[in-house]
């Protein structure tokens, strides 16, 4: 799919479907990479539950299963990319074909500290199926953004999988929910330590939740919708509710007309019993289930799909970009890692950095490190092999290799160029596309034109450069630059290679490396003054929004640091199919006008928004019985009227806190297509619970649950917030009376 077309978007995303072979289970040998623990190889049966929530296996009878949350699987590998077991492990396999029996699962909640689970299939043609199916489920965009009901089903499934000898230990329920007294009250189980598995049905679980958490705020919403103290509202009242509270006033009424009663009744049929349907009523329970259901997610599913037009010139997109991709900690010390290239690419990042240095005798193999620091070195060739493996697993759109080339050896640069050609093969774009020659005034090719291609960004030998590239090419802003601030003189450009270090200036590209450079090359950019660039050594990030606001295509961040800027970057690039490319707002792409990012007034041709959010309640925000606070941040242009707000602290209640009159109004969002709202929750001691980043242009108005995510933008199972969001077209105060007259002309 090349991107959005005019009119209503046809959703391409599909829900998770679990292959029968995974539900039935497969026989594997589980082996440990760390031999110091003397853990023996064990034959196990791998299974996936019917909903695709968990991968699990048993070590021995009558013991708890080992369970992996599939949404936290980072990667799956087989063949030469899997971890290689000892020969004694392979000897246990009756039928095998080289590496085709191997299965490695990469798992974790951050990019640096991942865990490898290693298995060997007992039968041929099994491991590949599990690799493909598990990765497809783990990266499913709908399951990564599921409804609150789905996550409650996930919690129920986990508790049932933890049953031992047909009983669910109460300790597991206590661990999942923060208030033990309320758990005991809701279960009404005295002096017992477990619940029979047959008794613990979905209806039993939802009844337990209803009793543990009274949820009076849901009754209030129903009453405000017209129930008049009755436990239901009518079809007419529910229709009015959907077409007023839940409808987006920014929608075109021709393409998206208000719902008719027949359509509303179809929605009711998904949640209500026949007895209420016969009376054209929706009960409080069914109404509550609708609010928590898939049809009422805070972001419509099409916004997670590939929505942007992907046929614009490459420079018209924001590109998800990484700085010093190989680092795992700070800029001065710590380990460099080949694995980081895989992990960063798997997030959807499309521009990665390679700091290349001249290899030493006797091998003279180029390596990657942060020059003149105490960071470790990794093999240049191994990095390219990792890139080739992972470049297009998450996104098929082009990958840019940003070389910082300090290899002052023509022989080794030639070796680097040859490695690029042999390892990447046809994926490496060497010659410009026929339709997009390197001539002045010629637009760059689009992401769609470059599908599945790897582009090299490197300094180009002067006589091979094309001036038009400097005019049409991409600008990149990185956290710190190792180039000197002065212009390189002609004498410096022609300085012969030497054995001296080149930490403060990249070397001149040889002919071999220059031939790999086409549409993108670094150009010295002097419009910004980063005063801290020589002082920051801790791999912290600057706020990318500041640079998106002024049109920077590649804002390169330290992916190993999950700070607020990185969380924002992860959240923003989750959209448009997690392709790694986001089309800039139209006002930034126009050549006939200049956009002022510091404006505090309405921009011609842009409909500004007003946004209001009411934080109503929280659900299962922490496993600890603590107070909780919710923060709301608006990231947009400097001229937007308000930036941050926060609720009062809940009174020692993290299980089901309810806030009153916590309304936060953002009266003017000048450029909604470039603005995002971040809703985050913290314990009273400041400990981060979870957050969610929502584009203003994608937010559905109305009552919705916001299911929270961790720092890596992976979904949390239980923590959620019930909010009321309101978004409408901004109208200046001086024009409000005319707008009111048009809305109500009689």
CATH for 540: 3.20.20.190
Catalytic residue among 9, 276, 323, 704: 323
Query: Could you give the residue ranges of the DSSP H alpha helices within 38-91?
Result: 87-90
Percentages of the chain per state (helix, strand, coil), in multiples of 5: 30, 20, 50
Q: Are 101 and 121 in contact (CB under 8 A)?
A: yes
Residues 736-746 pLDDT 10s: 666 566 556 65
Asked about 735 being catalytic, the answer comes back as: no
Q: Which residue, of 212, 239, 257, is where some domain finishes?
A: 212
Residue in this structure with the two tokens 């991107």, named with its chain if needed: 3
Rg of the chain on CA atoms, in Å? 28
Query: Can you give the CATH number for the domain in which 672 is found?
Result: 2.60.40.150
For residue 644, tell me if it sits in a domain.
Answer: yes
Neighbour tally for 291: CB within 10 Å: 22
Q: Are 700 and 56 in contact (CB under 8 A)?
A: no
Which residues are CB-contacts of 7 (< 8 A; sequence separation ≥ 6)?
255
- What is the distance between the terminal CA atoms of the chain, rounded to a whole angstrom? 47
In terms of domains, do 455 and 534 share one? yes
For residue 119, tell me if it sits in a domain.
Answer: yes
Residues spanned by the domain of 329? 314-584
**Gap between the Cα atoms of 674 and 223, Å rounded:** 37
- Sign for the pseudo-dihedral over CA of 34, 39, 44, 47: negative
**pLDDT at residue 531, rounded to an integer:** 33
For residue 434, tell me if it sits in a domain.
Answer: yes
Q: Are 479 and 558 in contact (CB under 8 A)?
A: yes
In terms of domains, do 321 and 274 share one? no
In terms of domains, do 397 and 535 share one? yes
For residue 7, tell me if it sits in a domain.
Answer: no
In terms of domains, do 208 and 221 share one? no
For residue 740, tell me if it sits in a domain.
Answer: no
Neighbour tally for 7: CB within 10 Å: 8
**pLDDT at residue 491, rounded to an integer:** 41
DSSP code string of 610-671:
EEEEEEEEEES--SS---EEEEEEEES-TTSS--EEEPPPPSS--SS-B-SS-EEEEEEES-
Q: What are phi and psi of 112, to 5 degrees?
A: -90, -50
DSSP code string of 342-382:
HHHHHTT--EEEEEEEPPPTTT---EE--TTSEE--EEHHH
**pLDDT at residue 465, rounded to an integer:** 46
Name the stretches of the chain with pLDDT < 70: 1-9, 95-96, 98, 190-191, 330, 463-504, 524-538, 733-746
Q: Which residue, of 118, 139, 160, is where some domain finishes?
A: 139
In terms of domains, do 472 and 327 share one? yes
In terms of domains, do 348 and 489 share one? yes
Our CA angle for 74, 390, 324, nearest 5°, is 90
In terms of domains, do 51 and 69 share one? yes
For residue 3, tell me if it sits in a domain.
Answer: no
**Gap between the Cα atoms of 469 and 449, Å rounded:** 18
Tokens of 492: 């410096």
| pLDDT above 90: percentage of residues in the chain | 75
Residues 464-477 pLDDT 10s: 444 444 444 454 44
DSSP code string of 482-544:
-S-SSPPPHHHHTPPP-SS--TTSPPPPPHHHHTTB-S-------S---TTTTT--S-----T
In terms of domains, do 511 and 418 share one? yes
Q: Which residue, of 92, 113, 139, is where some domain finishes?
A: 139
Query: Can you give the CATH number for the domain in which 76 is found?
Result: 2.30.29.240
- Sign for the pseudo-dihedral over CA of 365, 353, 393, 432: negative
In terms of domains, do 280 and 345 share one? no
Tokens of 186: 């809701």
**pLDDT at residue 642, rounded to an integer:** 75
Asked about 370 being catalytic, the answer comes back as: yes
Nearest to 672 by CA among 694, 701, 705: 694
**Gap between the Cα atoms of 447 and 683, Å rounded:** 42
**pLDDT at residue 536, rounded to an integer:** 58
**pLDDT at residue 38, rounded to an integer:** 78
Q: Are 444 and 473 in contact (CB under 8 A)?
A: yes
In terms of domains, do 455 and 543 share one? yes
DSSP code string of 379-445:
EHHHHHHHHHHHTTSS--S-EEEEEEEE---HHHHHHHHHHHHHHHGGGB--SPPTTS-S-TTPPPP
Helix or strand (DSSP H, E) at 245: none
Query: What total number of domains does the chain contain?
Result: 5
Residues 569-608 pLDDT 10s: 999 999 999 999 999 999 999 988 889 999 988 888 899 9
In terms of domains, do 330 and 288 share one? no
Q: Are 423 and 378 in contact (CB under 8 A)?
A: no
CA 588 to chain centre: 25
**pLDDT at residue 534, rounded to an integer:** 45
In terms of domains, do 71 and 161 share one? no
The 3-class secondary structure across 141-210, one letter per residue, is CCHHHCCHHHHHHHHHHHHHHCCECCEEEHHHHHHHCCCHHHHHHHHCCCCCCEEECCCCCHHHHHHHHH
For residue 246, what is the DSSP state?
S
**pLDDT at residue 495, rounded to an integer:** 42
For residue 195, tell me if it sits in a domain.
Answer: yes
For residue 12, tell me if it sits in a domain.
Answer: no
**Gap between the Cα atoms of 154 and 108, Å rounded:** 18
Q: Are 161 and 49 in contact (CB under 8 A)?
A: yes
Residue in this structure with the two tokens 């991942």, named with its chain if needed: 114
Catalytic residue among 9, 156, 370, 691: 370
For residue 324, what is the DSSP state?
S
**pLDDT at residue 502, rounded to an integer:** 40
Query: Can you give the CATH number for the domain in which 235 is found?
Result: 1.10.238.10
**pLDDT at residue 637, rounded to an integer:** 95
């Amino acid at each position: 799919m090349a991107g959005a077309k005019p009119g209503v978007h046809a959703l391409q995303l599909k829900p998770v479907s679990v292959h029968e072979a995974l539900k039935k289970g497969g026989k594997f040998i589980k082996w440990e990479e760390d031999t110091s623990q003397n853990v023996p190889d064990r034959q196990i049966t791998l299974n996936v539950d019917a909903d695709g929530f968990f991968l699990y296996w048993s070590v021995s009878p009558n013991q708890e299963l080992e369970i992996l949350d599939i949404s936290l699987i980072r990667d799956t590998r087989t063949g030469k990319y899997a971890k290689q077991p000892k020969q004694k492990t392979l000897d246990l396999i009756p039928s095998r074909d080289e590496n085709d029996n191997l299965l490695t699962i990469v798992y974790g909640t951050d990019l640096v500290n991942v865990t490898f689970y290693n298995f060997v299939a007992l039968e041929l043609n099994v491991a590949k199926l599990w690799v493909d199916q598990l990765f497809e489920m783990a990266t499913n965009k709908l399951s990564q953004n599921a409804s609150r009901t789905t996550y409650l089903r996930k919690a129920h499934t986990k508790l049932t999988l933890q049953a031992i000898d047909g009983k669910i230990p109460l300790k597991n329920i206590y661990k999942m929910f923060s208030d033990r007294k309320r758990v005991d009250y809701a279960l009404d189980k005295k002096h017992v330590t477990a619940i029979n598995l047959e008794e613990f049905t979905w209806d039993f679980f939802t009844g337990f939740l209803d009793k543990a958490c009274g949820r009076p705020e849901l009754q209030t919403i129903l009453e405000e919708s017209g129930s008049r103290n009755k436990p239901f509202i009518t079809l007419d009242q529910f229709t009015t509710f959907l077409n007023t509270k839940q409808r987006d006033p920014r929608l075109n009424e021709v393409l998206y007309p208000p719902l008719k009663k027949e359509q509303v009744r179809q929605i009711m049929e998904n949640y209500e019993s026949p007895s209420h349907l016969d009376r054209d009523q929706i009960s409080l329970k069914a109404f509550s289930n609708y609010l928590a259901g898939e049809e009422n997610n805070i972001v419509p599913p099409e916004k997670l799909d590939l929505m942007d037009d992907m046929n614009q010139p490459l420079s018209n997109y924001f590109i998800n970009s990484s700085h010093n991709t190989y680092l795992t900690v700070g800029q001065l010390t710590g380990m460099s890692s080949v694995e980081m290239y895989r992990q960063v690419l798997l997030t959807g990042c499309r521009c990665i950095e390679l700091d290349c240095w001249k290899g030493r005798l006797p091998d003279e193999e180029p390596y990657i490190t942060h020059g003149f620091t105490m960071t470790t070195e990794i093999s240049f060739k191994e990095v390219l092999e990792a890139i080739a493996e992972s470049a297009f697993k998450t996104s098929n759109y082009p990958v840019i290799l940003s070389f910082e080339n300090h290899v002052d050896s023509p022989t080794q640069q030639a070796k680097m160029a040859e490695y690029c050609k042999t390892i990447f093969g046809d994926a490496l774009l060497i010659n410009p596309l026929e339709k997009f020659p390197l001539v002045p005034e010629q637009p760059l090719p689009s992401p769609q034109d470059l599908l599945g291609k790897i582009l090299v960004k490197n300094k180009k030998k002067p006589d091979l450069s094309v001036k038009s590239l400097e005019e049409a090419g991409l600008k990149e802003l990185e956290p710190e630059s190792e180039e000197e601030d002065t212009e390189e003189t002609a004498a410096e450009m022609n300085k012969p290679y030497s054995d001296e270090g080149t930490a403060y200036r990249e070397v001149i590209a040889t002919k071999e490396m220059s031939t790999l450079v086409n549409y993108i090359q670094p150009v010295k950019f002097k419009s910004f003054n980063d005063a801290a660039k020589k002082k920051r050594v801790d791999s912290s990030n600057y706020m990318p929004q500041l640079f998106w606001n002024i049109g920077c295509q590649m804002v390169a961040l330290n992916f190993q640091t999950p700070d607020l800027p990185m969380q924002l970057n992860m959240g923003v690039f989750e959209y448009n199919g997690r392709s790694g490319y986001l089309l800039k707002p139209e006002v930034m792409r126009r050549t006939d006008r200049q956009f002022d990012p510091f404006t505090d007034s309405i921009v011609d041709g842009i409909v500004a928004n007003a946004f209001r959010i009411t934080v109503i309640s929280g659900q299962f925000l922490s496993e600890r019985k603590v107070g909780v606070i919710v923060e709301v941040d608006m990231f947009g242009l400097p001229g937007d009227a308000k930036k941050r707000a926060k609720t009062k602290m809940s009174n020692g209640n993290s299980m089901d806190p309810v806030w009153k009159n916590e309304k936060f109004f953002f009266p003017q969002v000048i450029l909604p297509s470039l603005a995002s709202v971040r809703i985050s929750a913290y314990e009273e001691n400041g400990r981060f619970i979870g957050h969610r980043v929502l584009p203003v242009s994608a937010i559905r108005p109305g009552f919705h649950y916001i299911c929270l995510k961790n720092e890596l933008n992976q979904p949390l199972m239980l923590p959620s917030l019930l909010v009321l969001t309101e978004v409408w077209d901004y109208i200046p105060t001086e024009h409000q009376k005319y707008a009111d007259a048009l809305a109500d002309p009689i």
